[in-house]
Amino acid sequence: MPSFQYRARDKQGSLVTGSLEAENKSQLESALDRMGLIPIQVMAKGRSLKLPGLDSFQKISPQDLILFSRQLATLFGAGVPLTRSLYALERQVANPRFVQIIKAIREEVEGGASLSAAISKHKEFPELYANMIEAGEAGGILEGVLDRLAFMLEKTSENRSKVKSATLYPKIVIGAIVAAVVVLMNFVIPKFAKLYASFKIELPLPTRILIVLSDAFVNYWYIALVLFIILYLGFRSYLKTESGKLNWDNLSLRIPVFGPLAHKSILSRFSRVLGSLYKSGLPILQSLDIVSRAVENKAIAADIKRIEEEVRAGKSLTEPMSKSRHFPPMMLQMVTVGEDTGNLDEMLEKVAQYYDQEVDATIRNLTTLLEPILLSFIFAMVLFLALAIFLPMWDIMKIVRR
């Protein structure tokens, strides 16, 4: 069946593009009309060769999820029924694997499942996504939740791109250091070891350490590789346990530079999600339960669950929050003002905006913040190598002078 590309307008006048299979242009225009779209331009699309079975290996990018959220919010807000909206997206998405996922979600919704339940069955969607959709369905604000999700996904994707750009220079420096160490261990240190052995002098401790490391690197590298793989797999298994994930998440917040950055990002997400859910009219206890699964940090999630229990017992939100070291005084003051004035959602949105600005500022200065750490590491490595290689030279010079 021929495939056609189209440009059309929805009921709100927004431009929609995509592709559909149809016998002819008339049949395609009829299909667009049933989808609530007004065709502007329709053209035949050339077929591309596909290898069977490769679609399952194609990744779902953040941009796929962002576009899906935006378009679904637009269609749903325009009054298009949910199943028809999903059917329209199924025909517009370019990623073949994502098309199959949307199709599966649509079929489950047609079978009586809620959108959140259908989405939760697909690991390509973050846990936060299904939880927020569930809240949107319960509060009758699905369109607003989808817009909020798209914004949050865009912010996360943008921050990741900025971090990658900001850490490019440190990555290049670390790569150069690794290459230099490999060359030294394989070619330079063994020659110095032979030289020192020929003079039969007692070597200083740094030199002995360096020679042992070089010998192990050259002759027993495969043992080191096996040990590294075992440690890596063991660490991955440990992270899959509740205690392992909790301990790692606690530790990750203490890592210099990246720990504070992650903490600020989590506080921004906590404030924005809780404010959005509270504004939608969802009970505070249910909102806290959803937020605890949205922050993606077990240590902070455990504190949120404790806050939920104390709020359930009749306490204000601020009181149990003040017992946690993860919520700074500024945030507590804003929450207190929000509770006293009845504008908790507005105060939480301001907190989220503040931490968004803090995250942006930290990312902009990331290279500057990492430079002292890199310089300290390079200085320590160069000092150790210099001592290990040149200290024996003094003893050799004494022997030569005699």
Q: What is the DSSP string of 197-247?
A: HHHT-PPPHHHHHHHHHHHHHHHSHHHHHHHHHHHHHHHHHHHTSHHHHHH
What's the confidence (pLDDT) of residue 200?
Answer: 75
pTM here is 0.73
What's the confidence (pLDDT) of residue 335?
Answer: 93
C-alpha distances (whole Å) from 105 to each of 18, 83, 91, 139 are 19, 9, 14, 21
Of the listed ranges 97-111, 115-129, 191-205, the least confidently predicted one is 191-205
The stretch 358-379 carries a mean pLDDT of 88
Beta strand 15-21 with 3-9: parallel, antiparallel or unpaired?
antiparallel
- Taking 80 as the threshold, does the pLDDT of residue 32 lie above it? no
What's the confidence (pLDDT) of residue 11?
Answer: 66
Of the listed ranges 48-52, 107-111, 114-118, 321-325, the least confidently predicted one is 48-52
Q: Where are the alpha helices (DSSP H) in 313-365?
A: 318-321, 329-341, 344-364
What's the confidence (pLDDT) of residue 318?
Answer: 92
The stretch 154-162 carries a mean pLDDT of 84
Contact 335, 317 (CB under 8 A): yes
Contact 301, 292 (CB under 8 A): yes
Q: Choose among 336, 354, 353, 349: nearest CA to 276.
A: 349
- Taking 60 as the threshold, does the pLDDT of residue 203 lie above it? yes
Q: How confident is the model at residue 401 (pLDDT cuts 50, 70, 90)?
A: low
Q: 161-186, pLDDT tens digit by residue?
A: 888 888 888 889 889 988 988 898 88
Q: For residues 267 and 25, what is the distance between their CA atoms, to the nearest angstrom? A: 51
| Degrees to nearest 5, angle at CA 221 with 220 and 227 | 100
Measured from the Cβ of residue 337, the count of other Cβ atoms closer than 10 Å reads 15
What's the confidence (pLDDT) of residue 400?
Answer: 65
Extract the tokens encoding 194: 């032979």
What's the confidence (pLDDT) of residue 173?
Answer: 87
What's the confidence (pLDDT) of residue 41?
Answer: 65
Pick the more confident residue, 298 or 157: 298
What's the confidence (pLDDT) of residue 18?
Answer: 77
Beta strand 38-45 with 15-21: parallel, antiparallel or unpaired?
unpaired
